[in-house]
Each structure stands twice: as C-alpha cells, then as structure tokens.
C-alpha cells in the first residue's frame, strides 16, 4: 500500500513539474532553476525578508518617541493595506510565475519601458536595503561580542553579514530554503519567547496605555504624530513579494505562492505586532522615551529583563534575523537582476543572465547583490551622512516598485485583462486593485512628508529628493541606452488585442 502511495505522490510531483514547465514555456521561457523550494520555505523567504524582529527593534524607539503607544495601531492599518497589494500580486504571479517578480509582471501587464523603470526602481531599492540592513546589524554584533560601536566596526560587521549571506545564496536553492526555514523558526521562537517573558515578568502597563499618547503630539494634531510614528508599520510590511521572485524555484507556483504571500502578511504582521505590544507594555518610563532621555529603550529593557548574558542570547537571535533578512533580500535582488539580464534589458546582461548548472543559481546576479551593497556600506567611511541619504530611498523605492505593478494591473483590468491563473479574486478584483493603489499612494506621501523643519531643506525633503534622483537617473539611462528595446520576449500581452494592436505592437506599448 505504501508503495502505491509513493507512486501516486511521485506521479503527482511529475505531473506538477510538467505542468509548471509547460506554463513557463507558454510564457516564452525555459527555466534553468530547480523547483526545490517547498511551500514553507517559500513562505519563510518572505517572512525573513519582512523580518518582524529587525523592523520592530530598529524603529521602535523612533515610533514610540513620535507617537507614543498608539503607534502600534499602524501595524493593523498598514497590514490591511499591504494585504490588498499582496492579493493583487497573487493574481499576477499565478498567471505569470516568472523569476524576478515586479519586472516581468510589469512587462506582461503594461510594456517594456514601464517594466524597465519598475525593475530599475525596485532593484536600486533592494540593493540599498541590503546595505542598510547589513549596516544596521553592526551595533547588535558589537554588543554580542563586546567590542565598541564605531564606524569601522559597523562596516566590518556589515561586510561579515554580507559575506555569510552571499555564501548561503551561492550554495543553491536547497540551502537557501533550509536557511530561510531556520531563520523563520529562530525569529518566530525568539519573538514569542521574548514577548511572553516581557509580558509575564516586566509588564508595567495595561492595554489602556495603547490609547494614551503621553502628549507625544505636542502642539500638533495627533494625526500628524501618528503619521510619523506609523512609519514603523509602513517599513515593516514588505517581503511578501520575495515569494514571487523565486517563482521558477517553487512547484505549482500558481497555487503555492499566493498562499505564501498571504501567510507572510498574516504571520509576519502578527509577530511584529506582538513584539511591539510586549515592548510597549514593558517600557517603564514612556515619557522619558518621548522626551529623548532614553534613546535605546529596547536595549534598556532587554538588559533589565534578561540580564547581561540573557540579553546577549536575545541579541544573538536578533543577529540571526538580520542575517536571514539580508539573505532573503539578496535572493530577491539576484532573481530580479537575472530576469533583467535574461531579457537583455540592461548593460551587463551578458553576465547577469549566466547561470551555474552545478548550483542552479545566477552567480553574477548574486555577486551584484553583494558587491553594490558592500560599496554603499564602505561609503559610510567617507560620510555616514551620505549613507543616511542613500538609505532614505530604500522604503520609498520598494513602494514605488510595488505601486507601479498595482497601477499596471489596474490599467490592464480597465482595458480588458481577465486574470487566468490558478488564483483569482473574481468580482472583487477591481475593488481590491483600487484599494491597493489608494493605500500605496497615501503611504508614499507619508514617507515623503517633511518632518524636520529646522533642518536644511534638502534634508527635510530627503526621501522625496532621493526618489526623484533615482527616477531621473533611470530616465536618463533609458534615453542614452535603450536597453528596454533589445529583448524580443513577450510584453504587454495581458490585455486582449484588436487586429491593429496585434499588427503594430510597438506603437501601442510602453
């Protein structure tokens, strides 16, 4: 009986493999990747990219100082908004399960120029985010090993994280998947253990404190303060897209990846909210944080709750979270760069599209996702202020890339696109799509909003300026070197064509 069961399971796997290959072939591609990534590994990749521990620990002090305890409600608001985006992406990846995520999706929904700019923005944002997460791990690594916090030590720590992450990625999809699952388990267990321990032994506030701003808004409306504090939620909820970046490494992607994307939002969001809740209820002197007297409330709390040795163990788990996050970001960036290169869409495509038959990974695309972040990190030796300005673009660039796909999907729907993948929203598709676009625009306005009136104008508008610089650089590149036109791979094929459009595709597509 067991033998018959094994035959059935094996036959089902072969059937799925053939079906996946046939669907990809119908889209114009023959994959070189191996479909070694299980559903939970795919979810873990998105979860560790989202990394609730990294996001909350990094921004908790800022958010609490800006808006007081009610800032926690931003996790709920942003979670709902990003769930709408994830649902739109789920429909798209089910129909177009191609490696690279936002770039190939934008290509099929709109056209080559739109896809090129979408990929450009998102790739730049990913490379900068890799650098920022690796650099952010420095202080935690310093505390674990007991050396001083300095620019040189931060650079060294960041480079160590980058090297380890790159090695894991170079070992192939199976190792990447296993590392993602280990990272997910360590992060989730760490979040639950720390959270419950704080709530049991160090809770000093009741739930009513979640509605008390402690005067954080000053003379402004509380909405202004909450919008600033709400950046902790906005910076938290991305990572689900990484599940789709590796679409050619997952069996039955049209079914499994949409599930993984939703799980990333549900479980990642719940974990982040729980960690934040435990910290808020356990910070004894919230007014001191708001007044700027306690700049590191997380460190203070962990040392009080766990002691010197216990705090180091917790920080060790935090470091695993940082490493897992960098690893997942690199995987996403490398698949995007490979997808770009495979379609001959950028200078260096000849290298970016090379594939290692032994490891089943794109080696040069992975090197790009290691070398560029390393250069950005090394730049902090010259100017930490310059590094801050570069990193300011990271979250905005990710949201821009997301919303360009959401807008492309909305345009395609209005022009007759009917999603035909294994996951469909049906009659709710248009409503969800509009909601996702509205949410994304509001979130980007909030990110760009000037909040430092005493600073120089260019620092006050640094997020907007950095976004404009990257967009303009991309437009100049497109004018000087029209890489977007080099590929003859399909594009703008989601929308039904009339006879004129079929005969004149270049005149009708961006």
Task: Write the DSSP string, 390-453.
Answer: HHTHHHHHHHHHHHHHHHHHHHHHHTT----SS---GGGHHHHHHHHHHHHHHHHHHHHS---T
Collapsed DSSP state (helix, strand, coil) of residue 493:
coil
Distance CA 159, CA 141 (A): 12
**410-466 pLDDT, tens digit each:** 999 999 999 999 999 999 999 999 999 999 999 999 999 998 888 888 888 999 999
Distance CA 437, CA 38 (A): 31
Mean pLDDT lowest among 175-184, 389-398, 400-409: 389-398
Residues 300, 306, 309, 315, CA torsion sign: negative
Length of the chain: 510
Same domain, 249 and 189: yes
Collapsed DSSP state (helix, strand, coil) of residue 356:
strand
Q: Which domain holds residue 250?
A: 38-508
Distance CA 507, CA 243 (A): 34
Same domain, 337 and 396: yes
pTM of this structure: 0.91
**457-491 pLDDT, tens digit each:** 888 899 999 999 999 999 999 888 877 777 788 89
Mean pLDDT lowest among 69-73, 326-330, 344-348: 344-348
142 closest CA partner among 160, 123, 126, 169: 160
CATH of the domain at 182: 1.20.1740.10
Which band of pLDDT confidence, cut at 50, 70 and 90, is reported for residue 142?
confident
Cross-strand pairs, 361: 356
Same domain, 4 and 55: no
Reply yes or no on whether the pLDDT at 389 is more than 80. Answer: no
Same domain, 75 and 2: no
- Count how many domains the chain has: 2
Reply yes or no on whether the pLDDT at 10 is more than 60. Answer: no
Distance CA 502, CA 452 (A): 52
Same domain, 10 and 49: no
Same domain, 45 and 3: no
In Å, how far are 80, 182, 238, 430, 439 from 407, measured between CA atoms?
Answer: 18, 36, 17, 11, 12
Residue 17: what pLDDT? 64
Same domain, 222 and 295: yes
Reply yes or no on whether the pLDDT at 5 is more than 90. Answer: no
Mean pLDDT lowest among 59-68, 139-148, 375-384, 428-437: 139-148
Same domain, 102 and 5: no
Q: What is the mean pLDDT of residues 152-173?
A: 92
User: Interior CA angle at 173 toward 237 and 315, to 5°?
Assistant: 50
42 closest CA partner among 253, 189, 355: 253
Reply yes or no on whether the pLDDT at 391 is more than 80. Answer: no
Same domain, 42 and 26: no
Same domain, 9 and 56: no
Residue 502: what pLDDT? 52
Same domain, 79 and 4: no
Distance CA 79, CA 192 (A): 19
Same domain, 300 and 441: yes
């Amino acid at each position: 009986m067991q033998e018959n069961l094994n035959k059935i399971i094996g036959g089902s796997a072969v059937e799925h493999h053939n079906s996946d290959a046939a669907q990809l072939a119908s889209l114009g591609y023959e994959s070189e990747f191996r479909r070694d990534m299980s559903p939970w590994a795919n979810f873990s990749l998105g979860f560790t990219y989202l990394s609730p521990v990294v996001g909350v620990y990094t921004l908790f002090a800022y958010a609490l100082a800006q808006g007081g305890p009610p800032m926690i409600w931003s996790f709920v608001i942003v979670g709902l908004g990003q769930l709408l985006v994830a649902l739109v992406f789920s429909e798209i990846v089910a129909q177009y399960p191609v490696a690279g995520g936002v770039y190939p999706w934008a290509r099929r929904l709109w056209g080559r120029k739109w896809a090129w700019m979408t990929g450009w923005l998102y790739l730049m944002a990913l490379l900068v985010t890799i650098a920022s997460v690796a650099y952010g791990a420095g202080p935690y690594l310093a505390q674990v090993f007991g050396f001083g916090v300095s620019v040189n030590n931060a650079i060294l720590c960041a480079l160590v994280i980058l090297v380890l992450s790159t090695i894991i990625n170079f070992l192939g999809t199976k190792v990447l998947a296993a590392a993602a699952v280990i990272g997910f388990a360590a992060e989730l267990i760490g979040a639950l253990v720390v959270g419950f321990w704080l709530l049991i032994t160090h809770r000093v506030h009741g739930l009513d404190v979640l509605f008390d701003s402690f005067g954080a808004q000053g003379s402004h409306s509380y909405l202004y303060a909450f919008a600033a504090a709400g950046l902790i939620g906005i910076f938290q909820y991305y990572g689900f897209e990484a599940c789709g970046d590796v679409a050619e490494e997952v069996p039955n992607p049209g079914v499994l990846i949409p599930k993984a994307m939703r799980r990333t939002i549900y479980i990642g969001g719940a974990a982040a909210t729980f960690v934040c809740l435990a910290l808020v209820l356990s910070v004894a002197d919230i007014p001191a944080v708001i007044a700027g007297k306690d700049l590191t409330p997380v460190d203070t709390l962990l040392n009080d709750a766990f002691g010197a040795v216990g705090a180091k163990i917790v920080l060790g788990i935090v470091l695993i979270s940082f490493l897992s996050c960098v690893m997942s970001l690199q995987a996403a960036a490398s698949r995007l760069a490979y997808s770009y290169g495979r379609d001959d869409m950028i200078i260096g495509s000849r290298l970016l599209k090379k594939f290692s038959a032994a490891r089943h990974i794109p080696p040069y695309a992975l090197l790009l996702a290691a070398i560029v972040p390393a250069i950005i990190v090394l730049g902090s030796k010259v100017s930490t202020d310059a590094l801050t300005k570069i990193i300011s673009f990271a979250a905005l660039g990710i949201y821009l890339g997301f919303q360009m796909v959401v807008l492309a999907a909305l345009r395609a729907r209005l022009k007759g696109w009917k999603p035909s993948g294994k996951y469909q929203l049906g009659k709710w598709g248009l409503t969800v799509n509009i909601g996702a676009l509205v949410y994304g625009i509001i979130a980007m306005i909030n990110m760009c909003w000037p909040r430092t009136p005493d600073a120089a104008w260019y620092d006050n508008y640094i997020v907007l300026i950095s976004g404009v610089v990257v967009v303009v650089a991309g437009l100049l590149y497109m004018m000087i070197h029209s890489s977007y036109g080099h590929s003859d791979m399909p594009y703008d094929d989601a929308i039904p064509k009339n006879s004129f459009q079929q005969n004149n595709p270049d005149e009708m597509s961006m």
